[in-house]
Structure 1
Amino acid sequence: MKIYDEGAESLHEILRAASSDQGATLLVPDLQRPYVWSPSQVTLLVDSLLRGWPFGTLLLWSVHKEDLAGIPSRPFWRIADRTDEFDDAQVSKSNPPAQFRMVLDGQQRLQSLLLAFGGDSWGFRLLDQEWSMVLDAERPKGKNAKRHWSLGHLSLDVWAFRERVKEVGGVGNVDFRDVLSWVVQSPNDGRSTLSRPANYKHPIASALDAENKGRFVRLSRLWDLASTQPGLFEQHFRQKLKPLLSAHDVPKEIIEDVLVPLAELVVTLVSIKQSKVSYLQLSPFDAEVINQDVYNDAIVNIFTRLNTAGRALTRQEITFAWIKTGWDASKTSNRTAGRCFEDLNEALAAAGVSIDIDALVGLVSAMWSVLHRDGALLTATDLLRGEKVRPMAQDLVKNWDILVANAVEGAQLVQDRGFRFGEHYRSLNVLTLLLAWRLLGRWWLEAHPLSVADRDGFEKSLDVAFKDHCDRWILLSQWSGRWVKSTDKAFAEYTKDLATDWSKLAVLASPDDVIGALKTRMDVWIGALQAESSKYIDDLAVLTRNRVHDYYLPLWLWHRLDAQRWKASALPLRESKRGSPSLDVDHIVAVKLWETLPGAQAQAQADADDESALSADDLSTTMNALGNCCLLEKSFNIAKSAESLRAFLERVHEFKTGQLKVDDWTRELGVDAMLVDPSDKPAVDVRLVVEARTTAMKAELKEYLVGTRQRADV
């Protein structure tokens, strides 16, 4: 079903719809990314238009006036402010006509042309330091240099225009990047008023300075002069230009030189104004043509699949737009939603969870869904329904401090257990559900005032329960393959479970009952993962040396299941005193050493009756088996040598100095003497030892899965 039409309008009509003094009817959905172009990019776009190059197509969305309130949107900016010191300066929104339009693709270009052609009140306000970087100018120095700002308007440097026209022989050959400048034009608010040293370097010129008198004319004044009334020629524009240039104090001799080429430039602007801009326009919702849910889903998917400047909009960005629209900063110490989320993101990063804002929005949204939507996660059809999403911001600001404290404390507890996001677990769902589970306890505590002693006791019990369950949840949810397929469905089932629990917890009066219910939930979740996790451990094997890193997490755990083993493996080992150790999976019997063992030849090259010979597959499986690996913090690589472990270790600093003894250390790591030095031992015998060690290691890991063995390092 086609839900769009093709069309074209003149550029000046499109810009007028976005900037009319009577109010704009062409808006920017807050679901879009912010305006990010620099002044230099704006100049480049204007230069392209003046050269007759194409503007590109737009994607618009037509919206009924009654649907406007359900879509976070804003007018275009009058001033692109990058200083964070001023209130937003926007075009006013029109009193609702029958229909508005949203710009889904083309916001950057349209906003740029508005800043260039819009009028006296349009421009960029940037810190002087940023102006310097954008324009490659000398950076200002001084006590307040980093706080000074300037408000620039795109202007024609009449003097430079005069010279360039002479040099290149006509307007058509001018590179307008050489004659267009961002210039301070306002006498009152063009620059910050902080004191400056006498030698302060302004990054952009001011038309108000004596040395620039008669030099700069706002480009928007020439745009306004470029009337689209039929039948006007250069002679008409020359007559209009004379008083305009005189009013700008342009000297008479310069006026005489530039009048003809400038009139030619205005004619070019007329052509640009009248040029047709093609667009695709999404149709407004029509109940007689399409179902509301199907329509909403289509619009959201167009948003999320649309590639704008190399990036696609995400559902989390749409969600965040709603959050920012409804955020009441007075309830969060006057911090905006953006600032609050950035602060939370930084706190999580300090606790070992480095994620982007998109991921954080997803995490927060899931927690909100558990507590306020019966666990139902937001879908595409919800994201264009204000009544579905708008309450999120209102709910979050009421208890933002609780949510933040729970998230940061929970992430810190996970870090204290040794887990790092991206290293020990890669699915954020693992952490999100763990934090949401903990949040139920914190939420209950806020709703049930307890004495100081009882509150402290509850918080300690909650943390103990969290520590008792978080390790196995993190490990088993990965080893069971829970996040490999049907992830969205699985995650939704978990949030439903938590919402069901919350409906029961909310009416409980006993702290012990609450802790008991939370433990039961986690026990049920973990129990359901044990069978698949056990199978994962049973099947765990790699065939090539470059894949042994797959053992990282199982080895990370196995080393921690015995106190003496952990003590031995936790000590960093260095070939020299100054080595820089890193944590890596390594072989015990080196790959090249295996190849020297009797019977390690490929079966095809050995005597068919030689039972001591290993096939190539047997050899590869054995040398890369879990039982032939360990996880050590070290500055050397055993796998690439052809030496025995003993010979290698005796050169390692900790053993060479007597700090460790090879036999004691290897015994504590469960390494059989044959593996320590297998020289001249039959390969099949060494293989049996490796297999026995693999079996023993997997047995311990499976004991941990069912809860009969615990970590000894915490």
Structure 2
Amino acid sequence: MSFQTPITIASALERIHRREYVLPAIQREFVWSRDKITRLFDSLMRGYPIGSFLMWQVQEGNSGRFTFYDFMRDYHERDNAHCAPTGPLGSRAVTAILDGQQRLTALNIGLYGSFTAKLPRMWANNPLAYPKKFLYVDLLNRGQDDDLGVEYDFRFLAPEEATAGTESGDAHWYRVQDVREVRTVRDAVRTLQHRGIVDNDTAGDVLSRLQEVVHVTPTVNFFLEEAQELDKVLNIFIRVNSGGAVLSYSDLLLSVATAQWGERDARETIHRLVDELNAVGQGFAFSKDLILKTGLVLLGKGDIRFKVDNFDRETMTNLEKHWSDIEGALRLGVALLADFGFSGVTLTANSVLIPLAYHLHHRNLGENYRTSDASRDDRAAIRRWLQRSLMKSGVWGSGLDRLLTGLRTTLEKEGGHGWPTEAIEREMARQGKSLRFEPAEIDDLLDLKYGSKRLFPMLAMLYPGVDTRDHFHEDHIFPRSLLRSRAKLRKTGVPEDALPLIEDRADRAANLQLLRGGENTSKQASLPADWLRKHFRSDAERESWLREFDAIDLPEDVTGFLEFYDVRRERMRQRLVALLDVHTHTDQGPAAVALGAGQTVPDDEPDPGNEGL
């Protein structure tokens, strides 16, 4: 390894675009934020060192042995977040970046590309949620910003933002990538003349400094490794990248897998799977970490911790060999979670997918498992276990690897013919993860507020008549817009001393229900009694709904809300105590709990043909 003559940023980026500089498969994705990019440019402008780079010289004739990727240029959070493979490079020599990818990519985006991220508080499917933004610098502003710690004002702006409030549209913000054409001081002067600010000293200083940083100063200092053995290069990469906290182990291990797989591109395969799993149903938020961890579990590795030794060549070979089966189990597991109504919003712990995938993989189950009558009881048992484990605090936190290993052993021994609920819960209790609920925990669950992730599994367990395969919402029975407005409540005649109580209970579980999306849209802010009369054709249908959802004696208006809330909360408590087999001092067992006339404890999932509410 030898230190090379430093080069300019312009020269480095030109080599990237000629594909002389490429990314090896062991590199991770680009992960820097816009703020980190702007700070890098500020550091360059201020003459601060940005560190050295480590590069690997792949000799002529060897480049075809390895997989390489292009640098990111136009980053898009949703549509273009992964680097693309270069494809065949022939036999020519290339230089692969082992350390410095994030910095070089940041420079490439700033000087050649764009950064597109979703605007806050906008839906992901809104075409206006992802404005394309370019890096700009304020030519008329230079000075220490004590809050941000920067001297030069770099920002990512849409073109219309950069030109807002100016007559000519080009005086204030300067698009950084335009400096590629400003190669001399004369070029800089012409640029300022065109903008009408040639006499502004600050503008002159900023633009000339930017031109110097990009075209003149040899900023890119690098070491070059010339060894051609992948194992040696991999060890160098691990030594350089595993010492810091920025690179996660999952990034590193995915890189190792990519370097060792032969038939598939591991990074592209796993990233594609993550994207497709996250698009199932109402959407999830699984990560590559979960996929890699699932692979270790399903392969039967004794040690499933994220460490380099667990991703040796033998393990990676087995992972690729069995990938189709592992991928199939993950896809079926996520489809089941979606059938049960879970999503990224309602799934409190993504790790529940791992034992579920192992169960499906161990029994070699296929797509028909989701709907077959023969599997009905098994699906119901899994659903109840998922609900219980996600309602219980602390189950999927610390000690996760030990828990997953224990669940795998139990499923291997006792899960050959169905989900072994009792054995699973014995193992969890042995590890201090008991799914037994105490009376105080029931009260805590019933006091959950709207937006809590633990709320959905509880409501779905209490009221399984809602077909969660359909698009549904967690909805307020009495409209929140009414209960949270003291002015509206006073107009209805609610006593002043009741207002704080109503506000507090408006968002709690006893005023919440599950409704299909269409029903929720039609209900909107209607009072529940009015909505029921419009929604159901007969008194019998209304009464059936009231019993099924513990809403008996529903009042006509909001003046009866507090009494209704207390009665429904108690009915929900009794139902939950029975379902969770909670023994209080006065209980004689779950059969002694009265749920009201005509009510029974639901013991199975909805009939596939029953639309529910």
TM-score class, shorter: 0.5 to 0.7
Q: Deviations over 1:428-477 (max 9, x none)?
A: 112223213433333xx99xxxxxxxxx99x9899557514321232222
Q: Is the CA contact (8 Å cut-off) linking 2:67 and 2:85 kept in structure 1? A: no
Q: Is the CA contact (8 Å cut-off) linking 1:586 and 1:630 kept in structure 2? A: yes
Q: Deviations over 1:385-433 (max 9, x none)?
A: 6x744444311221112112212222223333x3222233132112223
Q: Is the CA contact (8 Å cut-off) linking 1:407 and 1:435 kept in structure 2? A: yes
Q: Deviations over 1:140-169 (max 9, x none)?
A: xxxxxxxxxxxxxx9xx9xx99xx99xxx9
Among 579, 584, 588, the residue aligned to 2:475: 584
Q: Do structure 1's residue 415 and structure 2's residue 338 form an aligned pair?
A: yes
- The structure-2 alpha-carbon separation of the partners of 1:83 and 1:318, relative to structure 1 and needing over 3 Å to count, comes to closer
Q: CA deviation at 1:492?
A: 0.9
2:575 corresponds to = 700
Q: Is the CA contact (8 Å cut-off) linking 1:370 and 1:498 kept in structure 2? A: no
1:514 corresponds to = 416
1:16-95 equivalences in 2 (<5 Å): 30-33=26-29, 57-60=49-52, 86-88=87-89, 92=93
- The structure-2 alpha-carbon separation of the partners of 1:28 and 1:34, relative to structure 1 and needing over 3 Å to count, comes to farther
Q: Do structure 1's residue 536 and structure 2's residue 441 form an aligned pair?
A: yes
- Matches of 1:327 and 1:491, distance apart in 2: 28
- The structure-2 alpha-carbon separation of the partners of 1:665 and 1:54, relative to structure 1 and needing over 3 Å to count, comes to closer
Q: Which has the larger radius of gyration?
A: 1
Q: CA deviation at 1:629?
A: 4.3
Q: Is the CA contact (8 Å cut-off) linking 1:60 and 1:105 kept in structure 2? A: no
Q: CA deviation at 1:366?
A: 1.4
1:240 corresponds to = none
- The structure-2 alpha-carbon separation of the partners of 1:352 and 1:559, relative to structure 1 and needing over 3 Å to count, comes to same
Among 348, 354, 364, the residue aligned to 1:426: 348
- The structure-2 alpha-carbon separation of the partners of 1:15 and 1:660, relative to structure 1 and needing over 3 Å to count, comes to same
Q: Is the CA contact (8 Å cut-off) linking 2:52 and 2:221 kept in structure 1? A: yes
2:514 corresponds to = 631
1:363 corresponds to = 290
- Matches of 2:110 and 2:534, distance apart in 1: 67
2:270 corresponds to = 341
1:248 corresponds to = none
- The structure-2 alpha-carbon separation of the partners of 1:632 and 1:376, relative to structure 1 and needing over 3 Å to count, comes to same
- The CA RMSD measured in Å over matched residues stands at 6.3
- The structure-2 alpha-carbon separation of the partners of 1:174 and 1:54, relative to structure 1 and needing over 3 Å to count, comes to farther
SS in structure 2 opposite 1:587?
A: coil
SS in structure 2 opposite 1:376?
A: coil
For 2:534, the aligned partner's letter is H
Q: CA deviation at 1:584?
A: 1.4
1:555 corresponds to = 459
- Matches of 2:72 and 2:555, distance apart in 1: 72
1:255-654 equivalences in 2 (<5 Å): 275-277=217-219, 299-300=241-242, 302=244, 304-305=245-246, 313-329=247-263, 335-345=264-274, 347-349=276-278, 351-352=280-281, 354-355=283-284, 359-372=286-299, 374-379=301-306, 382-383=307-308, 388-416=311-339, 418-442=340-364, 463=375, 466-482=378-394, 487=397, 489-501=398-410, 505=413, 514-515=416-417, 519=421, 521-524=423-426, 528-532=433-437, 535-542=440-447, 551-560=455-464, 566=465, 583-587=474-478, 591=483, 600-602=495-497, 626-633=509-516, 634-635=519-520, 645-646=528-529, 648-649=530-531, 652-654=533-535
Q: Is the CA contact (8 Å cut-off) linking 2:277 and 2:331 kept in structure 1? A: yes
2:604 corresponds to = 711
2:104 corresponds to = 107
SS in structure 2 opposite 1:631?
A: strand
For 1:423, the aligned partner's letter is V
SS in structure 1 opposite 2:51?
A: strand
- Matches of 1:549 and 1:388, distance apart in 2: 34
**How many residues were matched structurally?**
463
- The structure-2 alpha-carbon separation of the partners of 1:73 and 1:101, relative to structure 1 and needing over 3 Å to count, comes to farther
- Matches of 1:599 and 1:53, distance apart in 2: 64
- Matches of 1:600 and 1:547, distance apart in 2: 28
- Matches of 2:272 and 2:344, distance apart in 1: 21
1:606 corresponds to = none
Q: Among the aligned pairs, what percent are the same residue?
A: 12
Q: Deviations over 1:96-127 (max 9, x none)?
A: xxxx9733543337889999xxxxxxxxxxxx
- Matches of 2:111 and 2:380, distance apart in 1: 59
SS in structure 1 opposite 2:99?
A: strand
Q: CA deviation at 1:11?
A: 1.9
For 1:173, the aligned partner's letter is V
TM, length-normalised to structure 2: 0.56
2:189 corresponds to = 173
Q: CA deviation at 1:631?
A: 3.4
TM, length-normalised to structure 1: 0.49
Q: Is the CA contact (8 Å cut-off) linking 1:10 and 1:277 kept in structure 2? A: yes
Q: Deviations over 1:13-72 (max 9, x none)?
A: 9979x98xxxx9998683243699xxxxxxxxxxx9xxx96787443466999xxxxxx9
SS in structure 1 opposite 2:477?
A: strand
Q: Is the CA contact (8 Å cut-off) linking 1:326 and 1:390 kept in structure 2? A: yes
- Matches of 2:574 and 2:72, distance apart in 1: 67
**Structure 1: runs of 5 or more not aligned:** 1-6, 37-47, 66-71, 116-132, 135-153, 179-267, 282-292, 306-312, 330-334, 447-455, 506-511, 561-565, 573-579, 603-614
SS in structure 1 opposite 2:515?
A: strand
Among 670, 680, 697, the residue aligned to 2:550: 670
For 2:88, the aligned partner's letter is D
- Matches of 2:257 and 2:568, distance apart in 1: 54
Q: Is the CA contact (8 Å cut-off) linking 2:261 and 2:316 kept in structure 1? A: yes
Q: Deviations over 1:358-407 (max 9, x none)?
A: x442222112322446443343xx34x6x744444311221112112212
Q: Is the CA contact (8 Å cut-off) linking 2:71 and 2:105 kept in structure 1? A: no
Q: Is the CA contact (8 Å cut-off) linking 2:54 and 2:222 kept in structure 1? A: no
- Matches of 2:428 and 2:525, distance apart in 1: 39
SS in structure 2 opposite 1:676?
A: coil
Q: Is the CA contact (8 Å cut-off) linking 2:523 and 2:531 kept in structure 1? A: no
- Matches of 2:424 and 2:374, distance apart in 1: 12
- The structure-2 alpha-carbon separation of the partners of 1:530 and 1:34, relative to structure 1 and needing over 3 Å to count, comes to closer
- The structure-2 alpha-carbon separation of the partners of 1:14 and 1:664, relative to structure 1 and needing over 3 Å to count, comes to closer
Q: Is the CA contact (8 Å cut-off) linking 2:389 and 2:395 kept in structure 1? A: yes
Q: CA deviation at 1:627?
A: 4.0
> Larger % of helix: which?
1
SS in structure 2 opposite 1:529?
A: coil
- Matches of 2:71 and 2:457, distance apart in 1: 54
- The structure-2 alpha-carbon separation of the partners of 1:424 and 1:703, relative to structure 1 and needing over 3 Å to count, comes to farther
Q: Is the CA contact (8 Å cut-off) linking 2:274 and 2:288 kept in structure 1? A: no
For 1:362, the aligned partner's letter is D
- The structure-2 alpha-carbon separation of the partners of 1:516 and 1:322, relative to structure 1 and needing over 3 Å to count, comes to same
1:188-199 equivalences in 2 (<5 Å): none
